[in-house]
Amino acid sequence: MHTLSIRQLSEGLRARKFSARELTQHFLKRIEQHDKKLNSFITVTAERALTQADAADARLAKGEGGPLTAPLLGIPLAQKDIFCTRGVKTSCGSKMLDTFVAPYDATVVRRLHRDAGAVLLGKCNMDEFAMGSSSETSGYGPVKNPWDLTRVPGGSSGGSAACVAAGLAPAATATDTGGSVRQPAALTGLTGIKPTYGRVSRYGMVAFASSLDQAGVIARSAEDAAWVLQVMAGFDPLDSTSVDRPVDNWIGSLDRPIEGLKIGLPKEYFAEGLAAGPRRCIEAAVAELKKLGATVREISLPHSPLSVPTYYVVAPAEASSNLARYDGVRYGHRAADVQTLEELYKRSRGEGFGAEVQRRIMMGTYVLSHGYYDAYYLKAQKVRKLIYEDFRRAFETVDVVLGPTATDVAFKLGAKTDDPVAMYLNDIYTIAANLAGIPALSLPCGFVEGLPVGLQLMGNFFDEGRLLNVAHQYQRVTDWHARLPGAFT
Ligand code: GLN
């Protein structure tokens, strides 16, 4: 059952080939068998999952379900542990929130599990507060890559990626502030989409950098991703940055031919820095898309080399403000045996936050401080506008922008933990889409020495339907996405 697509699972449920309970039990068993090797879950919600599965079976018995009305009814999913889930521990990968049980559901959780009837398998491991590119900053130990257990699965949504790649869940939610949906998807051979900023509600999603954070999906194919995103997306009055605009029928537009599609290849994305193996895979994928009728031209995104430094001013600045709420007073870890209020703040935050989170808070506080604000924060906002303008110009002549997702395949655990800048450079190809607010998708396009390579497609605002369509058409003629790592078949 773990090799079937979500569409096939939904058809199987409706035809009573298997029940939602049997399907849920299958995935819970796989989690139990395999997750010790991967550490992809922080919490497994087995009991709740079976209750939800029974409720789904009752609805299925009444004839509910199917792509048009209830595509995810009875489908098991995993949630990144950044989404508040009522009655369930929501740690955001941090010891700061180790004892936090969310009193309400994030809109994403409500839509998927309460309204649509998807079954919650558990909450996925992640970099602490989504800060990282390898899932090694988690307060719950690192996640391993199912393709090679000595390597990272990417991050920050490494748990979401690892559990889906190993067939422990059909799909998982993830979030992307600078690449955290796409880079882990790339490093584990999956399809991940970060929609347009504002497309999916951020209500109940623990905030990292609010002007960049966006929820997305990591799945085994573009089709599966479309099925999940279709339910997650849409206006939410509880999120002031949510966009009040109808959601297109993404599932329905997957089958459109891509004849005449105009693809732009930014020369900055194919400069030095991209490893030779992945480059060859991406070039072969471009040739495949041409065979499907696409045309290709070189474009330039001249400010893209500035995206990493810009992001590392904007994101920490917003993070330092968002994380001020964890003070040991209102909620979060509270240090024991303190004498003064100052000591309470210092010790609670010092004990609760890991090194990377503390580094970001210090960077962010610095760039926002009096005397440095204009030099750093204001300047970064100006460069951000230029990066946005690059894309605006590009989409006047092309439909999608294509490039690599990551510079190379998955690296070894520990290889970059002592070098924050090397870690930050992981996201050199993904960050620009967050700064501009546009949708972007990563899909598998080959293997280098047994490790998956990701290809990135970026689209114009609200054009996620086209990204899913192009990826689906490519996946109809290739099978990179259909492979399962040997140890998890
Ligand atoms: N790796 C980037 C960071 O550490 C992006 C993380 C993310 O998208 N959440 O900030």
pLDDT in tens, 191-243: 999 999 999 999 999 999 999 999 999 999 999 999 999 999 999 999 999 99
Kindly list the strands in the beta sheet with 76-80, ordered across the sheet, starting from the edge strand earlier in the chain: 41-44, 119-124, 76-80, 171-176, 214-219, 191-194, 440-448, 451-459, 400-404, 262-266, 295-299
In a domain, 385, yes or no: no
In a domain, 187, yes or no: yes
Q: Please tell me which residue in 10, 19, 80, 307 is annotated as part of the active site.
A: 80
Question: How far is the C-alpha of 249 from the C-alpha of 253, rounded, in Å?
Answer: 6
pLDDT per residue over 376-401, tens digit each?
A: 999 999 999 999 999 999 999 999 99
Name the domain count of the chain: 1
Query: Mean pLDDT, to the nearest integer, of 296-306?
Result: 97
Given this model, what pLDDT does residue 67 score?
Answer: 80
Ligand 1 geometric centre to CA of 338 (Å): 33
Question: Which residue has tokens 């929501």?
Answer: 90
Given this model, what pLDDT does residue 3 score?
Answer: 95
Active site (annotated) includes residue 80: yes
Ligand 1 geometric centre to CA of 427 (Å): 8
Tell me the residue length of the chain.
489
Q: Is 81 helix (H, G, I), strand (E, B) or coil?
A: coil
Question: How far is the C-alpha of 457 from the C-alpha of 185, rounded, in Å?
Answer: 13
Nearest-atom number in ligand 1 for the CA of 311 is 10
Element (H, E) at 361: helix 355-368
- pTM of the entire predicted model: 0.97
Is the confidence at residue 280, as pLDDT, over 90?
yes
Nearest-atom number in ligand 1 for the CA of 133 is 1
Q: Please tell me which residue in 10, 40, 135, 156 is annotated as part of the active site.
A: 156
Ligand 1 geometric centre to CA of 176 (Å): 7
Quick check: CB of 179 below 6 Å from ligand 1? yes
Domain range for 157 is: 6-261+440-488
In a domain, 339, yes or no: no
Ligand 1 geometric centre to CA of 446 (Å): 24
Active site (annotated) includes residue 379: no
In a domain, 173, yes or no: yes
Question: How far is the C-alpha of 173 from the C-alpha of 218, rounded, in Å?
Answer: 6
Quick check: CB of 178 below 6 Å from ligand 1? yes
- CA-closest residue to ligand 1 atom 10: 131
Ligand 1 geometric centre to CA of 432 (Å): 12
In a domain, 114, yes or no: yes
Angle between helices 6-14 and 46-61 (to 10 degrees): 60
Given this model, what pLDDT does residue 370 score?
Answer: 87
Quick check: CB of 315 below 6 Å from ligand 1? yes
Mutate to test the pocket of ligand 1, among 134, 157, 177, 424 (most ligand atoms within 8 A of CB): 177
Q: To 5 degrees, how large is the angle CA 294–CA 298–CA 299? A: 115
Ligand 1 geometric centre to CA of 121 (Å): 25
- pLDDT band at 330, cuts 50/70/90? confident
Q: Please tell me which residue in 134, 135, 138, 180 is annotated as part of the active site.
A: 180
Two tokens at 22? Answer: 């049997």
Question: How far is the C-alpha of 32 from the C-alpha of 99, rounded, in Å?
Answer: 23
- Following DSSP, what letter does each residue of 311-324 receive, concatenated? HHHHHHHHHHHHGG
Active site (annotated) includes residue 291: no
In a domain, 298, yes or no: no
Is the confidence at residue 65, as pLDDT, over 90?
no
Q: Is 449 exposed, middle or buried (0-12, 13-18, 19+ CB in 10 A)?
A: exposed
CATH number of the domain residue 112 falls in: 3.90.1300.10
Q: Is 89 helix (H, G, I), strand (E, B) or coil?
A: strand
- Following DSSP, what letter does each residue of 419-487 receive, concatenated? -HHHHHGGGTTTHHHHHHT--EEEEEEEEETTEEEEEEEEESTT-HHHHHHHHHHHHHH--GGG---GG
In a domain, 363, yes or no: no
Report residue 233: phi and psi, to 5°. -80, 160
- pLDDT band at 175, cuts 50/70/90? very high
- Residue 162 CA from chain centroid, whole number: 12
Ligand 1 geometric centre to CA of 361 (Å): 14
Quick check: CB of 430 below 6 Å from ligand 1? no
Question: Which residue has tokens 């994305």?
Answer: 269
Average pLDDT across the chain, whole number: 97
Given this model, what pLDDT does residue 477 score?
Answer: 98
Mutate to test the pocket of ligand 1, among 81, 125, 133, 318 (most ligand atoms within 8 A of CB): 133
Percent of the chain with pLDDT over 90: 96
In a domain, 275, yes or no: no
Q: Do residues 293 and 463 lie in contact, with contact meaning Cβ atoms separated by under 8 Å?
A: no
Nearest-atom number in ligand 1 for the CA of 131 is 4
Quick check: CB of 177 below 6 Å from ligand 1? yes
Quick check: CB of 157 below 6 Å from ligand 1? no
Quick check: CB of 356 below 6 Å from ligand 1? no
Report residue 154: phi and psi, to 5°. 85, 180
Question: How far is the C-alpha of 287 from the C-alpha of 284, rounded, in Å?
Answer: 5
Given this model, what pLDDT does residue 323 score?
Answer: 97
Query: Which residues, including other chains, have CB under 8 Å from residue 397's CB and lie 6 or more apart?
Result: 262, 264, 297, 299
Quick check: CB of 130 below 6 Å from ligand 1? yes
